[in-house]
Amino acid sequence: MTVTLRQALGHDLDALYRLEQVAFSGDRFSRRQLWHLLNRANALTLVAERDAEDLSPMRLLGYGTLLFRRGTRRARLYSFCVHPEARGTGLGRRLLEALEAEAREHDAEVLGLEVRVDNSVALELYRRMGFRPERWLSDYYEDGCAGWQMAKALLPEKEAAQADEG
């Protein structure tokens, strides 16, 4: 299976909404919220999709949305989602690396996120990718689950490439 990463477009709205329904049991975005992220917010959404030759009805395998706030060098990973069928394939890591590169392109020096404390797979991915806990978030999610606010310092692209080589 070949997967392509690209910037989300308006016509991805329905697929993004379906992916939210499949991947999350709560704290899902509504169609209206997704539309806003794609069209109005100071945001960037990347999608991971199967090639057109793949006949699977679920072509969208993941997405991630970055939020940018004017006047700050901190970007926020606002949503990160991998289809259950694609978990454990390395897609999450690949998508997160692409989102980090996009944050650097927008001159972000720090990438922050929030994650449920009971999402051990996501917590482990974020830790492996260099994110560190910053703050405990009691009763953060709609079902009362706590979360961690995590962050990662982003090296400038040139320094990141050198670090990967060494």
- Which domains, ranges and CATH numbers included, belong to the chain? 3-165 (3.40.630.30)
pLDDT digits (tens, 9 = 90+) for 117-140: 999 999 999 999 999 999 999 999
What pLDDT shows up at residue 59?
A: 84
Rounded percentage of the chain residues whose pLDDT exceeds 70: 89
* 1 pLDDT above the threshold of 70: no
Contact 129, 116 (CB under 8 A): no
Length of the chain equals 166
Residues 6+ apart with CB under 8 A from 7: 44, 45, 46, 47
pLDDT digits (tens, 9 = 90+) for 100-117: 999 999 999 999 999 999
Residue carrying structure tokens 């395998």: 61
Gyration radius of the chain's alpha carbons: 16
* 114's tokens: 């929030």
pLDDT digits (tens, 9 = 90+) for 77-105: 999 999 999 999 999 999 999 999 999 99
Provide DSSP, 40-91. TSSEEEEEEEE-TT---S--EEEEEEEEE-TT-SEEEEEEEEE-GGGTTTTH
Residue 26 binned pLDDT confidence (cut-offs 50, 70, 90): confident
Average pLDDT, the chain: 91
pLDDT digits (tens, 9 = 90+) for 145-161: 999 999 999 977 655 55
Report the predicted TM-score, pTM, of the whole model to 2 decimal places: 0.89
